[in-house]
A and B are shown apart, each in its own frame.
Chain A
Amino acid sequence: MATKERISLNVNNKSYDLEVDPNMPLLYALRNELDITGPKFGCGLAQCGACAVIVDGRVMRSCMTSVRSTQGRQIRTIEGLGTPENPHPVQKAFIEEAVPQCGYCISGWLMTSVALLEENPRRSDAEIRQSLSSLKCRCGTHMSILRAVNRAAKAMA
């Protein structure tokens, strides 16, 4: 393990200073150092998306992104999307469609969908399916997810 270094992170518009192994994946910094536990550990291999966060507008897998590489960049997690009083349109659609079952994967689907639709909400169902195809959901909520993302796309267009 590398020795710890001082790292500054900006997460959900708040600045944090940490002392961590700079090679440590961002996921562990968020979850264990900052208590931002929305992103989940699913595989540690960037194969499932449960850890997805948005960094400078692009969705990234925080389980394989070193904390050093995110220094000084704008990191967004599910906690920074919206609130029950003022939900992000994608969150609103996920609630209307009652998407999550166990919900462990849902932060990843939300963050990936947010990045996709904020870039361009005019997406066909086929594009949405393709863009989300690297995410896993073991409870099989795919139908609800697709309904919700299509609904959010319409709301945001």
Chain B
Amino acid sequence: MTKQANFKFTRRDLLKGGGALVVTFGMPGWAVAATQDGGSLSKPPLMPDQLDSYLSIAADGKVTAYFGKMDMGQGVDTAIAQIVADELDVPFERVGVLMSDTEYTLDQGGASGSTGIRSGAQPLRNAAAEARRVLLDLASEKLGIPAEGLMVTDGIIQAKNQSSRQVKYEELIGGKYFHVNLEWNERLGNALNATGKAKPKTPDQYKVVGKSMPRIDVPGKVFGQTPYVTDIKRPGMWHGRILRPPVAGATPTGWDQNSISDIPDAQVVRIKDFIGVVAPEEWGAINAARQLKVTWSEVKSPFPEMDDLYDYIRRTPHVEENAGGGFGGRVPVDEGPVNKALEGAAKVIEAEYEHPFQSHACMGPACAVVDARSDRATVWTGSQKAHKTREGVAKLLELPVDKVRGIWVPGPGSYGRNDAGDAAMDAALLSKAIGRPVRVQGMRHEGHGWDPKGPASVITLRAGLDAEGNVIAHRFQAKGFSAWDVRSNEASPSDTLAGLLVGWPKNTRHNYGTPSESYDFPTKLHFWRTIPPFLETASPLRTAHFRDPQGPQVHFASESFIDEIAAAVGQDPVEFRLKYLTDPRDIAVVEAAAKAAGWETRTSPRRDRQSGDVLTGRGIAYASRGGTTVATVAEVEVNRQSGRVWAKRFVVAHDCGLIINPDGLKRTIEGNIIQALSRALKEEVQFDRNNVTSIDWLSYPILDSTEAPESIEVVQINRPEVAPTGAGEPSTRQVAAAVANAIFDATGARIRRVPFTPERVKASLA
């Protein structure tokens, strides 16, 4: 079997609190030894300008990288270990990565926008290079040989011309702190960086980077040894559950204590509009939540009929607009030039695309454990941003931020701002109320029903063509709910259910997105408009970042429309894209995907008659994201009797600059394709006038193993000269359009609403 690489922190021991390593606050065993060794050496403060904040070398030579982001299962920690191993010249197996514990790691922004490697690796790479330089200096002094005359192999420094004169890293620094200053860019979060005097290596010097090293986290997960946030137990810990109203927006007016009198020690905790139950045992808390009779205030039904959703979006006045894309500054929307160009066009084509609310629907409802004391608190969370969770809990509990410790532990999946941050606040309130550690995990209906949703939108596109069929004007307008109704972290209780329920004011910000592409259309206007959330309080239809925020919505529309233009002018979809694309890397991925897929140059839909019930077709879509560019070809089978679509084959050409771990990249892309395919074919949050009615896997189905493709082929374009730009999300946004374009190719029917359910597809064929 695969050799178990790298030692994994036995966080199980630390998290459980018993045993020799108690250290209440999870420090790895050998790091504890480090602090005990040479007692006069003190640890410098955890500051971004300290080398010791990023790296330590223990007495046995093991290296720890302290990483202020985390791995959500895509192998980011493995990649960090590879990068540190290369810079330090130590074996990969000797590097461990401690992720996002506010006691030991800096705020590097947590998991965020596929930046784990793009941004997160930079200070660690620099710190490792600087550590190597400092160690060479120490060795030079010890061996009496100038640093230029030394070389490093596997953590052993030796004279270039005399291998017997050598010293190991751990003999120089093992168990001690470097106390070396770095130059910090004065930024925190994703932008945090620090540099030393040493220059990091160039890609041609890499030995481990670029290789498919085995993922550090896999064996622990496969042997059931990895502790998740749901597995944490603390002495004296009770269990909590939260009660949510039957009509969204209703608040508790009272409850019947007798309804839970048979449950030993169960208590109700009500703080303003927040109501929950606690009990010493989880089964007790579950039953108390089921049994508790709560009376709720009468409120107006907060939502429109679901069938009316897209018209509701169309007719609701927007409150913000921006022609500056998703995260850029505000650019005023000036429709003049594009409208003028459209008026002068020989032909105008227009289409509208609708995308529903979608749920993160993580494998388990969110969980958190909080131990809130009068003067401090500890939070165990699966949130993507433990530093921000700590900040939010501190505000909620009115504690100084430095008195709250946030410890990230893997949760039941995370693809953005899911329900993890909410669980942390729920647990914090309950723990403070009863003076004990409290573990909260929602039930399934809360995971689906009350997690923040990917926003619904209507996207309108117009293209103006001249007499020769050239595109002279291109107008993209998105209108929908903001992706920042709930911010992408929980640094403010205002962005959580519990915070709103205890009186923090709603803090909606407005943000959506526009296409990320390099088509050269002479007059182009791309902008978004957002409408207010349905509710100004805790809502099951609040909206937030969900893997590749707005990317699937925006590019489903924009890349479907590219094919609509191509069809209108009678051109092959690949040729049409290549005619207008300008960025050489974009051109390269489109060409590579088409080539690997064996793309046949012709117009869509296919003209040859297909017999039988199953029609086949192929489609392409391309988009970039944050420097990464991806083209995806989908081959589908459409059953014209049932309307069922099977995406049989995908070919993905992917360029994210320098590739750190090809095998990890392949699996990351496969996961993105499957999740995005599930969203395209199946996922739509159902609701009625009162509440969300998608509350489990029957009412919110996702792709299963019979629906998975036969194959996903990935063409990895490695560009060592380009710094890595991230792969966690960019291959998500092309999938819906590639499949819709393939359905059109197979059937001639254009699907403009996600998801492509059998009923919808069948109706479009009629």
Chain A residues within 8 Å of B, Cβ to Cβ: 1, 20-21, 24, 28, 31-32, 35, 37-38, 40-45, 47-48, 50, 77-79, 81-84, 87, 91-92, 94-96, 98-107, 110, 128-130, 132-146
Contact = CB atoms under 8 A, between A and B. Distances in A.
Contacts of B361: 138
Nearest to A110: B222
17 contacts: A24-B283, A38-B224, A41-B364, A43-B696, A47-B444, A47-B696, A79-B223, A79-B224, A87-B1, A87-B222, A96-B1, A99-B222, A102-B410, A137-B363, A138-B413, A140-B671, A145-B705
Contacts of B712: 143
A95 B218 contact: yes
Given A48-B363, A101-B72, A32 B671 contact: no
A61 to B, nearest CB: 12
A42 B347 CA distance: 53
B537 to A, nearest CB: 27
A139 B697 contact: no
Given A1-B283, A1-B284, A100 B223 contact: no
Contact of B2 (A95, A102, A107): A95
A104 B363 contact: yes
Contacts, number: 184
Contacts of A44: 443-444
B287 interface: yes
B127 to A, nearest CB: 28
Nearest to A90: B222
B222 A40 contact: no
A106 B412 CA distance: 11
B431 interface: no
Among A20, A32, A35, A137, max chain B CB count under 10 A is at A137
Contact of B363 (A82, A96, A99, A136): A136
A110 B223 CA distance: 10
Given A44-B443, A83-B223, A101-B72, A96 B2 contact: yes
B298 interface: no
B232 to A, nearest CB: 9
Contacts of B422: none
B704 A136 contact: yes
A129 B672 CA distance: 20
Contacts of A136: 363, 697, 702, 704
B73 A100 contact: yes
A45 B699 CA distance: 12
B640 interface: no
B214 A142 contact: no
Interface of A is mostly: loop
Interface residues of B, number: 64
- 7 smallest beta-carbon distances between A and B, as pairs: A140-B674, A101-B73, A38-B224, A103-B221, A78-B224, A142-B708, A140-B675
A141 B696 contact: no
B218 A98 contact: yes
Contact of B705 (A78, A94, A132): A132
A84 B697 contact: no
B325 interface: no
B533 interface: no
Contact of B674 (A1, A42, A78, A142): A142
A102 B218 contact: no
Contacts of A98: 214-215, 218, 663-664, 667
Contacts of B443: 44
Given A104-B412, A142-B674, A50 B364 contact: yes
A25 B364 CA distance: 17
Among A48, A81, A128, A145, max chain B CB count under 10 A is at A48
Contacts of A87: 1, 222-223
B444 A104 contact: no
B262 interface: yes
A117 B230 CA distance: 29
B251 interface: no
Contact of B413 (A78, A95, A104): A104
B218 A99 contact: yes
B709 interface: yes
Given A129-B706, A142-B705, A103 B73 contact: yes
B678 interface: yes
A138 B712 CA distance: 17
A136 B448 CA distance: 14
Interface in B202-261: 214-215, 217-219, 221-224, 226-228, 230-231, 233
A28 B282 contact: yes
Contacts of B412: 40, 42, 50, 102, 104
Contacts of B263: 1
Nearest to B287: A1
Interface string B386-419: 0000000000000000000000001111110000
Contacts of B226: 103
B74 interface: yes
Given A1-B284, A102-B412, A140 B703 contact: yes
Contacts of B223: 78-79, 81-84, 87, 91
Contacts of B287: 1
Interface string B601-619: 0000000000000000000
Given A84-B219, A129-B706, A144 B667 contact: yes
A32 B217 contact: no
B539 interface: no
Nearest to B674: A140
Contacts of B2: 95-96
B362 interface: yes
